[in-house]
C-alpha cells in the first residue's frame, strides 16, 4: 500500500495529516507545520485510511456543509 503525506486536509485552525509509522513521519509533519503556521497539525493513521478510500482529504470531500452555514473552511 502506498501512502502519501500530501493527502492532508486543511480545516479551521488545523491540518489533518496522514502518517505511516515511518521514520520520516516527524519530518513530514514539521514541513507541513511550517507551510501552515498557526494551525495545529494532527497526525492520523494514513495506511488505515488508505485501505478505506484514500487519505484525509479524499475521505472528507463528500461531507456536506451545514445548510445554515455558507462558509468555506479553506
Contact 49, 56 (CB under 8 A): yes
Q: Are strands 9-11 and 14-19 parallel, antiparallel or unpaired?
A: antiparallel
> What CA–CA distance (Å, rounded) separates 37 from 31?
10
State yes or no: is 11 an active-site residue. no
Catalytic one among 11, 35, 58, 74? Answer: 58
Q: Which residues belong to the active site? A: 58
Amino acid at each position: 500500500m502506498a501512502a502519501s503525506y500530501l493527502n492532508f486536509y486543511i480545516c479551521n485552525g488545523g491540518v489533518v495529516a496522514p502518517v505511516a509509522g515511518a521514520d520520516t513521519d516527524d519530518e513530514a509533519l514539521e514541513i507541513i507545520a511550517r507551510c501552515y503556521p498557526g494551525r495545529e497539525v494532527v497526525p492520523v493513521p494514513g495506511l488505515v485510511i488508505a485501505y478505506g478510500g484514500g487519505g484525509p482529504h479524499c475521505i472528507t470531500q463528500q461531507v456536506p456543509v451545514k445548510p445554515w452555514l455558507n462558509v468555506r473552511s479553506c
